[in-house]
Amino acid sequence: MIYKSSAGDLDLSKLTRLYPAVVVDLNGETAEMSLEWTELYGEKVKLKAYVLVFDFTPIHEEKKEKITLEFKTKEELMASMQEVSRFFQN
């Protein structure tokens, strides 16, 4: 299952986690937060980007293997999530 993304070809058969998030500016520090957190507290921070994180890190491994796709709008993020979800249907 190869997903062709802006970051290159991603082998979804090796995926261990897939999740949406936002990147925010917290007083000069950059942090990744959940979409739910942003809905509750988003007005208190500067939103920098929406992201879809593809985590290929094997369970119990220390070294993180992640690819992050960045989007300007929540709608773009949702459209990408729907596209990826088609690989897991059937």
Please check whether residue 10 lies inside any domain of the structure.
Answer: yes
Token digits for 46?
């500067």
Which residue range forms the structural domain that includes residue 48?
2-83
Please check whether residue 51 lies inside any domain of the structure.
Answer: yes
pLDDT at 7 over 80: yes
**What pLDDT is stored for residue 51 in this prediction?**
97
Total domains, the chain: 1
Please check whether residue 54 lies inside any domain of the structure.
Answer: yes
pLDDT at 8 over 80: yes
Please check whether residue 42 lies inside any domain of the structure.
Answer: yes
Please check whether residue 58 lies inside any domain of the structure.
Answer: yes
| 10-38 per-position pLDDT tens digit | 999 999 999 999 999 988 889 999 999 88
Please check whether residue 89 lies inside any domain of the structure.
Answer: no
pLDDT at 90 over 70: no
Please check whether residue 73 lies inside any domain of the structure.
Answer: yes
Distance CA 64, CA 78 (A): 24
**What pLDDT is stored for residue 39 in this prediction?**
86
Mean pLDDT (whole number) for 49-77: 94
Please check whether residue 63 lies inside any domain of the structure.
Answer: yes
Q: Is 90 exposed, middle or buried (0-12, 13-18, 19+ CB in 10 A)?
A: exposed
